[in-house]
Amino acid sequence: MTDSIIKLTAAQIAAKIASGELTAVQVTEAHLARIEAVDEKVHAFLHVDREGALAQARAVDEKKARGEKLGPLAGVPLALKDIFTTVGIPTTVGSKILEGWIPPYDATLTKRLKDADVVILGKTNMDEFAMGSSTENSAYGPTGNPWDLTRIPGGSGGGSSASLASYQAPLAIGTDTGGSIRQPAAVTGTVGVKPTYGAVSRYGMVAFSSSLDQGGPCARTVLDAALLHEVIAGHDPLDSTSIDAPVPPVVEAARNGSVAGMRVGVVKQFRGEGYQAGVVQRFDESVALLKELGAEIVELDCPSFDLALAAYYLIAPSECSSNLARFDGLRYGLRTGDDGTNSAEAVTSLTREAGFGPEVKRRIMLGTYALSSGYYDAYYGSAQKVRTLITRDFEKSFEKVDVIVSPTTPTTAFPIGERADDPMAMYLADLCTIPTNLAGNAAMSLPCGLAPEDGLPVGLQIIAPALKDDRLYKVGAAVEAAFVEKWGHPLLEEAPSL
């Protein structure tokens, strides 16, 4: 029975719990059994909250027994990226500097999940402080890609994407600073959405780069992602960057997918040198499919996109150097060298040396330099000007088209260790995703086939204007349905079993 439960979509699970065909406890136990069976190989989870998850599931069943109305995802299990604070269970952000830290409060997103009766299974592995594209920067070891455990599951949210692709959870939460929801989705054959900046509260989400960070839904289908999006989105007075606007009708869009009459843009800067042949082939086939489904294809030229990577790697490290200053060994988390012989400054220095990993140190140093006196205007100031140019290119493009499509990543999943000693090669994994974060638009990645040369998943990225997140789901659902009709089953079912 476990196998039949874990292969269900979140929407199917919710419907079966509501009808009484399954109990929330049965569903939770099935997924906990799956975690116990395969996660030693995958390493998607940093912490599994078995007792907490079963308690949440029992509460859902009791609520149903009392005749109370259940929400659209009541009783559905979820894997939560270990960057959101959670009362009673650790939040480490993939770092030794917060090893074992138990937060005294829930993030707004965590609270909304609990209020919606979603069952939180545990916390997933990630690149330390969300800095990376492979989950190799986790202080607790890398996560494997369920398609090929010797390859990366993307980053920084590789634990969340791997939990979906290995059927350990039907839903997951990620965060996206430069592509950390979409890139993992692409290389694991799953669906990941970066909502409009400010659409999902950042209160209780440990900050990396405050003007770029955005939480969002991860799932195996477009509808499941929409149902989760609707639960977590909405204005939060505790977050000063939260948008006070209605949540777009994302579930309705996912249930009524269509591209007929839509104008779909293809940006010429999102292809060329460095793009894997199989990725380009599958993208071109997706564009042809969109045209076949009734969309008008429009060629776009966005010259500033070529500068996005450089601008991002000045803005994000600059904000990270400011945000991570709070980890000083004096207030919470790791403390090293406090033996009575060292000054407070020395304790802070020793703690950071022991607690931060190489990539975090690299970005802190780069950001501190970019913000330093004499260099601020030349580096950080110039990067912000480029950010404005990128935003203007998007604005001009969205005057001509309804959505933009591109490959999500230039390549399929690369082997673990292949780019570990080459930061620039690693950074190129986010080439297609970064412009959206700089502009604050909404974007989605969904599977569009397997690359012929290696048989690994390829992601199609859909980008929509700010606050038009429903367009992602409308187009994504249409593409997904067309793929299912052509091949008879979701692409993810081709993933090798563990």
Task: For 160-189, give the DSSP string.
Answer: HHHHHHTTS-SEEEEE-SSSTTHHHHHHHT
Tell me: the pLDDT tens digits for 92-125? 999 999 999 999 999 999 999 999 999 999 999 9
Residue 375 pLDDT: 86
Residue 45 pLDDT: 98
- Catalytic: which of 95, 133, 134, 156? 156
Tell me: the pLDDT tens digits for 40-64? 999 999 999 999 999 999 999 999 9
Residue 489 pLDDT: 64
3-state secondary structure of 92: coil
- Catalytic: which of 64, 81, 194, 468? 81
180 is catalytic: yes
**pLDDT band at 1, cuts 50/70/90?**
low
Cβ contact 54:29 at 8 Å: yes
Cα-flanking dihedrals φ and ψ of residue 333, to 5°?
80, -160
- Catalytic: which of 138, 166, 180, 321? 180
Burial of residue 496 (number of CB atoms within 10 Å: 0-12, 13-18, 19+): exposed
Counting residues of the chain whose pLDDT is more than 70, the rounded percentage is: 98
3-state secondary structure of 257: coil
Query: Tokens 């909405």 belong to which residue?
Result: 234
Tell me: the pLDDT tens digits for 398-414? 999 999 999 999 999 99
**pLDDT band at 281, cuts 50/70/90?**
very high
Q: Residue range 382-386: average pLDDT? A: 96
Residue 254 pLDDT: 98
Q: Please say if the pLDDT value at position 490 is more than 80.
A: no
Q: Count other C-beta atoms under 10 Å from residue 138's C-beta.
A: 26
For the residues of 31-58, what is the DSSP string, one character each?
HHHHHHHHHHHH--EEEE-HHHHHHHHH
Cβ contact 26:64 at 8 Å: no
Q: Residue range 168-197: average pLDDT? A: 98
Q: State the pTM of this model.
A: 0.97
Tell me: the pLDDT tens digits for 128-153? 999 999 999 999 999 999 999 999 99
Residue 306 pLDDT: 95
**pLDDT band at 380, cuts 50/70/90?**
very high
Residue 128 pLDDT: 98
* 199 compared with 426, residue with greater pLDDT: 199
**Domains located in the chain, CATH noted:** 1-269+280-298+397-494 (3.90.1300.10), 325-382 (no CATH)
Q: Residue range 420-428: average pLDDT? A: 84
111 is catalytic: no
Average pLDDT value over all residues in the chain: 95
Residue 272 pLDDT: 83
474 is catalytic: no
Cα distance between residue 482 and residue 102, in whole Å: 45
- The DSSP letter of residue 212 is T
Counting residues of the chain whose pLDDT is more than 90, the rounded percentage is: 90
